Amino acid sequence: CKQWAEYTDDQLYKIISKAIHNAELTYRRVMTLNEYLLEIGIDQPPVSQGPWTYQQHYAAFQNLKRGTAADVDEGIIIDFASTELTRCFKAPIDQIAACPRIVEIWDKLISPVCQPRIVRCFPGERYRRLTGECNNLKYPLWGMTNREERRFVPPAYLDGVSIPRQLSVDGHPLPSARMVSNIVHRQDPCCPLIERDLSLYVMQWGQMVDHDIVDTAGLKGADDSSIMCCNISEKLLEKRPECFPIHIPPGDLRFESNCMNFVRNLPSRDDLCRFGYRNQVSQATSFLDASFLYGQSHEDSRAIRAFERGMLRISPSGLFPPPGSMDTRSCQLESQKHYCMKSGDFRIHVMPGLTSVQVMFLREHNRIAFILGKLNPLWNDEDIYSEARKIVIGQLQHITYAYWLPYIVGPDRVLQYGLRVSKHGYADVYDDEIDPTVANGFAVAAFRFAHTLLSDTVPYINDHVALSFKSEDMFNKPTLAFSKNGMGVSYVGYGLSQAPLSKADEKVVTAVRDNLFRDMDGRSLDLISLNIQRSRDHGVPGYNVWRKFCGLPYAFHFGTDIGGLVDHSPENAKKLRAVYRHPDDIDLFPGGLSETPMPGGVVGPLFSCIISQQFSNLKRGDRFYFENGFKDTGFTPAQLESIKTTTLARLLCTHFHLSRLQVDPFRLPSKVVEIVALPLWSVSW
Ligand code: HEM
Ligand SMILES: [Ca+2]
């Protein structure tokens, strides 16, 4: 702070208030431009008559919840102002933030724009809140919804504050995200490879977990429109700081144009409205708390609950009900008899498999509520709902930690990070100094690993038929779920347990690498280009920084011998060399996904470290984690025993009316594990 010692308070006051004032002006200018661009038809409205465009599909997925609108202005203004501050003081943002006089004046001046978040907690509350607040009584905001994601390592923005990472260590531009996708991740459409042992349910459970723990807010134009960054002049592009389009190299096998639309994610404000480098907001509770089922606010909950005997609203055919008011924005309807379902998460329709697994949990909640109501005639709706919700979350956590996660990170990491679930009894692991908040590199890269597990087809199987539908025809449509009077969800659910998982390698199927959200005009996106560009948008540093974070050897060269890419096959190292100039430049997603998987896992050493760290935080940093034996908030020993008998097989059989299934539906049926009689659940509540 020495360099500003001779500045008077008055001078500092002037500089900072000018930075904030300029930021507000820029913000208003951008908003006015957005309105104009929607009016003249450049930006696209969220929905229009007729079939959706690919951009409308994408907009339905990359959402910005309106409830956060107040925070939207604050985040953007503070982001602009932080950039202004580094310009005015000609110093890195961390140095400025280390100067208490500057911070004090900033706090005063920013208060009309942004107020610190304050939450009141009551230690006696027996159930977790929908918003995730007050899970940690010492740090009540940790893990709550609409709050900024945390960082495992500091960001690497071009300007140190906000501009995306885009230069190689030698000063050249980084390769285009689509070029990396083409060279590293291309799957020959002729011959997609499969895992021998695992089923597609591994992928589907992963997406549900992903939607439970993270939902990063996008940026929207006027009236919720999609901001368009392609086919506009250079001059206009300069005026749209939210644009960061992806260059498509000439000769691309799928895309004729040279530009893929890409809009930056919303900048967050922190809990105390401080200035600093840009961060992003997650609209989901970080905790694994079935927020995709119960919603993350009281408003959500009002639309989801039946307010009768603890039940959630359910349609006559056992699906989610329609929303209270007509909603045409969250899915694309192909029949007048269908509707967009209201669940706790608006992404429910993106793939039929996701709808199916969410419906299974809806039915499970109501099954448990029914039993609880019978056993406890004096309980009211609220008692039954809260207790059933607590049990369902326990089951979700149990299956995820005991059965699913080991297939992902491998048994070694499960032991190393203390992720094991014991067969019986409590495991008191809670530590109120562990921050469970979802981390940026995890969400933007490592946990997207499952994009390699996606299949070109959606299996739809019952005793009489075994069909499969093309994935690229199914995005955002509830059609399959509604088929056969609602039995479609069962056939998709059963199909996922019978179809093989795509190979956990660096290659990604055409359905999402070339044809994501393909529309009637044949236009589409590349999910892998989006992943890579998204990391740069979030300022996520390159591969080597993350290797260091995980205590893994640094790569100084592209060879696979000592000092190089020691966790890559020679073939994959060659692909990385063909596209990057230096190992430091390698983006986290391609670098991590192209590592050789850990023994018994589907991801390599780097991703398994990042994923294990996040799941360790979600376990140890969750006061309501199901194995904690706290009085009042924990389960009784008998309840815990019962939850530990929950299996995916039981859930599938019960809710999709199956009489036979393999013991572990995450694995393909084999001669060894034949159809079994599953243990019955005890009902000792
Ligand atoms: C069913 C097919 C799937 C589709 C169509 C899909 C599509 C997408 C899209 C469009 C995004 C946003 C891309 C962007 O940054 O602009 C995304 C993000 C993401 N996907 Fe997938 N995905 C699928 C399956 C999965 C699975 C199985 C996982 C499993 C773990 C997964 C994990 C993630 C994660 C962690 C994010 C970041 C979420 C956030 O930050 O809000 N996805 N996906
Ligand atoms: Ca959650």
Helix, strand or coil for residue 594? coil
Structure tokens at 626: 């199901």
Task: Name the stretches of the chain with pLDDT < 50.
Answer: 69, 672-678, 680-685
Cα 175 to Cα 359, 413, 587, distances in angstroms = 42, 33, 10
Strands (E), 234-278: 246-247, 259-260
pLDDT at 673: 47
Burial of 545 per CB tally in 10 Å (0-12, 13-18, 19+)? middle
Which ligand has the nearest atom to the CA of 452?
1
Residue 150, strand partner residues: 439
Which ligand has the nearest atom to the CA of 282?
1
Helix axes 69-89, 9-39, angle to 10 degrees: 130
Which amino acid residue places its CA nearest to atom 25 of ligand 1?
207
Distance CA 529, CA 532 (A): 5
State the ipTM, two decimals: 0.99
Helix axes 177-185, 570-579, angle to 10 degrees: 160
143 Cα: distance to centroid of ligand 2 (angstroms): 8
**Amino acid identity of 358?**
Q
Strands (E), 53-164: 147-148
Strands (E), 363-481: 457-461, 466-470
Helix, strand or coil for residue 393? helix
Structure tokens at 630: 């706290």
Q: Are 595 and 182 contacting, i.e. CB atoms less than 8 angstroms apart?
A: no
DSSP string, 343-361: -S-GGGGSSHHHHHHHHHH
Which atom of ligand 1 lies nearest, measured to the CA of 203? 27
Which atom of ligand 1 lies nearest, measured to the CA of 475? 5
448 Cα: distance to centroid of ligand 1 (angstroms): 6
* Secondary structure letter of residue 3 according to DSSP: G
630 Cα: distance to centroid of ligand 1 (angstroms): 35
Q: Are 105 and 12 contacting, i.e. CB atoms less than 8 angstroms apart?
A: yes
Q: Are 285 and 132 contacting, i.e. CB atoms less than 8 angstroms apart?
A: yes
**Amino acid identity of 250?**
P
Distance CA 174, CA 246 (A): 12
Which ligand has the nearest atom to the CA of 348?
1
Q: Strand 457-461 vs strand 466-470: parallel, antiparallel, or unpaired? A: antiparallel
294 Cα: distance to centroid of ligand 2 (angstroms): 9
136 Cα: distance to centroid of ligand 2 (angstroms): 15
Instruction: Estimate the share of the chain in helix, then strand, then coil, as percent rounded to the nearest 5.
Output: 45, 5, 50
Which atom of ligand 1 lies nearest, measured to the CA of 447? 35
| H/E stretch holding 641 | helix 637-643
Which ligand has the nearest atom to the CA of 287?
2
Distance CA 673, CA 132 (A): 39
Whole-number average pLDDT of the chain: 93
Cα 418 to Cα 396, 421, 546, distances in angstroms = 18, 9, 21
Active-site positions read 211
Each residue's pLDDT tens digit, 349-358: 999 999 999 9
Whose CA is closest to 573, among 589, 588, 557? 557
Distance CA 685, CA 8 (A): 68
Angle formed at CA 132 by CA 161 and CA 650, multiple of 5 degrees = 120
Whose CA is closest to 623, among 392, 395, 401, 434? 434
Handedness of CA 205, 226, 282, 297 (dihedral sign): negative
Mutate to test the pocket of ligand 1, among 65, 205, 208, 451 (most ligand atoms within 8 A of CB): 451
Which residues, including other chains, have CB under 8 Å from residue 641's CB and lie 6 or more apart? 424, 682, 684
Q: Are 418 and 401 contacting, i.e. CB atoms less than 8 angstroms apart?
A: no
| H/E stretch holding 411 | helix 411-416
Distance CA 3, CA 5 (A): 6
Which atom of ligand 1 lies nearest, measured to the CA of 58? 10
Q: Where are the alpha helices (DSSP H) in 469-604?
A: 479-482, 488-498, 510-513, 527-537, 543-549, 570-579, 588-593
pLDDT at 677: 47
The residue behind tokens 């994935």 is 471
Burial of 377 per CB tally in 10 Å (0-12, 13-18, 19+)? exposed
Structure tokens at 664: 């572990």
Which amino acid residue places its CA nearest to atom 4 of ligand 1?
350
* CA diameter of the chain: 83
Whose CA is closest to 284, among 297, 265, 266? 297
Q: Ligand 1 — pocket residues by CB below 6 A?
A: 61-62, 203, 206-207, 210, 214-216, 350-351, 443, 447-448, 450-451, 454, 512, 527, 530, 534
Neighbours of 483 (CB within 10 A): 17
Structure tokens at 240: 């749209």
Distance of CA 76 to the CA centre of its chain: 21
Mutate to test the pocket of ligand 1, among 292, 448, 533, 587 (most ligand atoms within 8 A of CB): 448
Distance CA 279, CA 590 (A): 22
- Predicted TM-score (pTM) of this structure: 0.96
**Amino acid identity of 13?**
Y
Distance CA 160, CA 83 (A): 9
The residue behind tokens 């029949």 is 335
Structure tokens at 506: 């660096």
110 Cα: distance to centroid of ligand 1 (angstroms): 35
Distance CA 210, CA 198 (A): 19
Mutate to test the pocket of ligand 1, among 150, 178, 207, 227 (most ligand atoms within 8 A of CB): 207
Structure tokens at 319: 């699906």
pLDDT at 112: 94
